[in-house]
Amino acid sequence: MYNLELGELSHVTSGVDHFLVNPHGDTDGLVLTNGLEVHFPPHFSAEVLAAVRAGDRVTVYGVVPRATAMLTAVAIETEDGKRIGD
Q: What is the pLDDT of residues 42-72, one digit of tens each?
A: 889 999 999 999 999 999 999 988 888 899 9
Q: Please tell me the pTM assigned to this model.
A: 0.87
- Local structure of residue 55 (DSSP, 8 states): T
Domains of the chain: residue spans and CATH: 6-85 (2.40.50.50)
What single letter denotes the amino acid at residue 27?
Answer: T
Residue 22: name the closest of 34, 30, 13, 14 by CA: 30
Confidence of residue 4 (pLDDT cuts 50, 70, 90): low
